[in-house]
Amino acid sequence: MSQNQESRCSGILLHITSLPSKFGVGDFGPSAFEFIDLLKQAGQTLWQILPINPPSFGNSPYSCTSAFAISPLFVSPELLIRGGLLDESDLEPTLECSPHRVQYAPVLEFKIRLLSKSYARFRMRANKIEYERFCVDHSYWLEDFCVFSVLKNHFNGRSWIAWPEDIKKRNTVEKYIERLGELIDQEKYFQFVLFCQWEKLQKYCHDKGIRIFGDVALYVNHDSADVWAHPEFFKLDQEMRPVVVAGVPPDYFSETGQKWGNPVFDWNILQENDYLWWLKRMRHSLKLFDLVRIDHFRGFLAAWEIPASDSTAVNGRWQECPGVEFFSRLFKEFKSIPVVAEDLGIITQDVKDAMARFGFPGMKLLIFAFDGDILQNPYAPANHVKNCILYTGTHDCNTTRGWFDEEMSDESKLKLESIIGHKVNSATVAEEMVVLAMRSVAYIVILPMQDVLGLGSDARMNCPGTAENNWEWRLRQWSTDDVAKLAELTKTYGRG
């Protein structure tokens, strides 16, 4: 990035859930440490992941019950055993799970059961200084989230909007804390363990020269601790229901746009509060990650506000937001802000101006490079700029091989072949695109793991606009030969 004089480098996009593990989902345990070792051997210096907050529904990491908490999915049973908080026998009965796909519901139930067992043992410890310090350091979100989580279970999983009126509007929080205090303390312990395990993984990354590239979803769920605790920061009616919800207008991904359903921020109230909630969120994120991608960056300049009762995003309208003022305030708080702006789709001049003003790089996708006039296409290799993050594709796209097989037109295939100078087929296209990316002038190249391995559409992570079979793909193996091949490419193109 221009503000930090970023040197040429590259990294891998692989969400933690996709890592191999005998417990049904990738976590903060041994497989993550082994993956970092492989990144190092492959000459990579960045590991990009998706949000690690607790999913609310549909398994999506962009649909969470908290903008601050970490999902229990990621707890490592092995690390709990090493820390003396579990015995091997506590893992019984073992979890039967697929090595190919994450099965979220049984895995989450299993992880919470293990955390609960470990809490019973933790309670017996006399020295809880680190835990108490954690509770103080994270008090700006921890209490609200843990009370919210316990109440959600207490009310059988119902959204907070359907809770009794007294607690829905937070008039009797103390009464419930007194009644459910032990369960709330247990939730705090869960977060303590998760943050401790994350910090160990983060330190290991740094020791190996790997930076973690995290992801912050702009919006939060209505059914979240954030909205329940701070309804004043969102456009809600008197019954606490969203008046308008967020999304995007029709674009490349969807003819009717995308209606995400998240409540829209009331930026006037945030402004009056000196953007304190957002300042806390960014400070929190910059402690967790070395580089932060802000999903839907455009939403800081204007929000696509959709009437909450509409079934699609077609009838939304743009509402201006004070993004420039907010980021100016942010720069008063931090010396540098290692932010990457997700700027895909139709981007207006005000967004481009804000990115240029603050030195935030945007994203370029090679799979978009061969549509239309290649001389004018900003994603075409000849039109890349240094201050950008270049991808072959992202978690929302088909894999490169799947795109070539199922989506790429014959005309686009001819354009690709004219750029690389020879014929391409399904078996070679991913490798060719990886080479194109590594050759680029872009300072940072990020390669989805599926493209490094040349996998087809069955390895796709997410298909926007669909509800089934998303976020489930799991990595089986990254072979020694494939690691060596990427290391050689990285060295050849000066990204080591």
The catalytic residues are 295, 342, 396
* C-alpha to C-alpha distance for 379 and 347, rounded to whole angstroms: 14
Residues composing the chain = 496
The secondary element (H helix, E strand) that includes residue 331 is helix 323-333
Tokens encoding 344:
């895909």
Provide the edge-to-edge strand list for the sheet that holds 317-320.
Answer: 258-263, 244-248, 302-307, 317-320
DSSP states along 72-120: GGG--HHHHHHTTS--GGGGPSPPP--SSB--HHHHHHHHHHHHHHHHH
Buried b (16+ CB within 10 A) or exposed e, 281-311: bbebbbebbbbbbbbbbbbbbbbbbbebeee
* C-alpha to C-alpha distance for 14 and 452, rounded to whole angstroms: 11
303: helix, coil or strand? strand
CA-closest candidate to residue 231, choices 203, 209, 256, 264? 264
Buried b (16+ CB within 10 A) or exposed e, 353-363: ebbeebebbbb
Query: 13 exposed, middle or buried (CB, 10 Å; 0-12, 13-18, 19+)?
Result: buried
* C-alpha to C-alpha distance for 487 and 315, rounded to whole angstroms: 49
439: helix, coil or strand? helix
Angle at which helices 429-439 and 480-492 cross, to 10°? 30
Tokens 């990144």 locate to 39
* C-alpha to C-alpha distance for 161 and 379, rounded to whole angstroms: 44
Tokens encoding 350:
């005000």
Looking at residue 171, its amino acid is N
Query: 351 exposed, middle or buried (CB, 10 Å; 0-12, 13-18, 19+)?
Result: buried
